[in-house]
Each structure stands twice: as structure tokens, then as C-alpha cells.
């Protein structure tokens, strides 16, 4: 019996409790590359201690009572209230306290680059509505106050850096994606040869 036969039998016998990890593809990382090309140019403005306290107070929190602004769970990170990336391009917003709110990993993951209020009341996986958060209306009210109080910085990146440099950056992006396709072809060939060697055992 070959190694592949043993693998198939083993997988069949344990099909209810076992699932192979999803194969990794180089070209499957294109969205991560695009995000890196956008996030890599986004300015980061560190807040003062007073600005942090003021942001928390606007949301009805203190450093001791800080929690996810969207659902109330334990805060593990700060989420970009208005997305930095939409349709694979920068929105013009930056990383600053007036565009950040405390969040939990579930909400941050689920929200992604969606508009915050539509997402909160949506049927998206792990959204506050889907998870049955009971005080969702009150949380939305506080976030509306937060949104009205702080006007986040929004920049025209192209105007600031000039079209030539901007095009250079995104041409580099396209070249990298094309190189990833070539790398994927090489990777597929290597994988096929390794798989064939297993079949011949």
C-alpha cells in the first residue's frame, strides 16, 4: 500500500473528526499584499494621554472600564472606526485617535472595512446583531456622539505626493502581483513533482 493510499484511508475513516488544513497558495495572499501597500503609506499619529482619556470618556468609558465599543466584550485592540482601505485603495483616513475606538477581536475581524452602523445591525458573522448584543442601540448612540464630536483627518494622498510618485507605488504593486503569479506556477510545479514521488513509492 502506498503512502497516498494510507492517507486516503485514514482520512476516510476519520472524516467526521478530521479535516486537512486548507492548502496555501502564494496568489492567495494578494489581498494581504494590497493591504500592506496601503497600510505602508498611512501616517500614524500617536495620541496624548489626555486625548485617550477624552476619547474613552466620550464613549462612556474609563481606563478601568474600557471594553469593546461595539459589543461590550473585553477590549483587545483599537479598531479604525472609518476604514483605511475600500475597494483595494486608500480612503484618505489615517491612524489617529479620532479614527479609532476600542474593540474586541471578533468585532474587528467581522467589521473589516464595512461602514460601522450598517455592520452593527447586519447579519454578518460575529456582528453585534448576530451575536445578540442586547444594548446595541445604546452602543450605537454613543458611537454616533463619538462620530459627531471628532472630525478625523482625511487626506488627498495623490495631491500631496504627486501623480508620478503615486503611480510608481502602484506600479510596484502590480509588478509584485505579477511576480506572485510566476512564483505560484513554480510552486505548483514543485508540488506536483513531490506528489508524483509519493505516488511512485
All cell numbers assigned to 44? 500614524
In whole angstroms, give the CA distance from residue 160 to residue 155. 8
Report, as an integer, the average pLDDT of 172-181: 96
Is 139 found in the same domain as 95? Answer: yes
Do 54 and 92 belong together in one domain? yes
Same domain, yes or no, for 84 and 56? Answer: yes
Residues 33, 177 contacting (CB under 8 angstroms): yes
Per-residue model confidence (pLDDT) at position 154 = 95
Please indicate, yes or no, if residue 195 is contained in any of the structural domains.
no
Lowest mean pLDDT across 17-26, 33-42, 158-167, 169-178? 17-26
Give a yes or no: residue 38 inside a domain: yes
Q: Are residues 90 and 183 part of one domain?
A: no
Supply the pLDDT for residue 8. Answer: 53
Domain containing residue 31: 23-42+157-187
Residues 98 and 168 in one domain: no
Pair (100, 171) in one structural domain: no
Give the pLDDT band of residue 179 (cuts 50, 70, 90): very high
More confident residue, 199 or 16: 199
More confident residue, 99 or 2: 99
β-pair partners for 78: 102
Kindly compute the dihedral angle of the four CA atoms of residues 80, 58, 61, 42, in this order, to the nearest 10 degrees.
Answer: 20
- Residue 165, classed as helix, strand or coil, is helix
Q: Judge whether 52 and 7 are in contact, CB under 8 Å.
A: no
- Cα angle 115, 75, 46 (rounded to 5 degrees) comes to 75
The count of structural domains within the chain is 2
pTM for this prediction: 0.78
Alpha helices by DSSP H, listed for 105-200, are: 105-111, 116-120, 136-149, 157-161, 163-199
Is 120 contained in some domain? yes
Q: What is the pLDDT of residue 135?
A: 96
List pLDDT tens digits, range 45-76.
Answer: 999 999 999 999 999 999 999 999 999 999 99
Share of residues in the chain with pLDDT > 70 (%): 92
pLDDT digits (tens, 9 = 90+) for 79-131: 999 999 999 899 999 999 999 999 999 999 999 999 999 999 999 999 999 99
Amino acid at each position: 500500500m502506498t503512502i497516498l493510499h494510507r492517507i486516503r484511508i485514514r482520512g476516510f475513516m476519520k472524516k467526521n473528526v478530521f479535516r486537512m488544513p486548507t492548502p496555501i497558495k502564494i496568489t492567495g495572499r494578494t489581498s494581504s499584499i494590497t493591504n500592506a501597500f496601503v497600510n505602508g503609506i498611512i501616517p500614524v499619529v500617536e495620541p496624548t494621554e489626555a486625548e485617550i482619556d477624552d476619547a474613552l470618556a466620550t464613549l462612556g468609558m474609563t481606563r478601568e472600564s474600557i471594553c469593546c465599543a461595539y459589543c461590550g466584550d473585553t477590549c483587545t485592540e483599537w479598531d479604525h472606526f472609518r476604514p483605511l482601505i475600500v475597494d483595494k485603495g486608500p480612503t484618505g483616513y489615517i491612524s489617529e485617535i479620532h479614527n479609532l475606538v476600542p474593540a474586541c477581536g471578533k468585532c474587528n475581524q467581522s467589521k473589516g472595512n464595512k461602514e460601522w452602523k450598517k455592520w452593527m445591525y447586519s447579519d454578518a458573522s460575529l456582528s453585534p446583531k448576530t451575536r445578540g448584543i442586547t444594548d446595541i442601540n445604546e452602543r450605537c448612540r454613543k458611537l454616533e456622539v463619538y462620530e459627531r464630536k471628532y472630525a478625523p483627518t482625511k487626506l488627498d494622498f495623490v495631491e500631496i505626493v504627486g501623480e508620478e510618485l503615486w503611480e510608481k507605488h502602484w506600479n510596484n504593486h502590480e509588478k509584485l502581483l505579477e511576480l506572485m503569479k510566476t512564483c505560484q506556477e513554480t510552486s505548483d510545479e514543485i508540488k506536483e513533482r513531490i506528489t508524483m514521488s509519493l505516488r511512485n513509492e
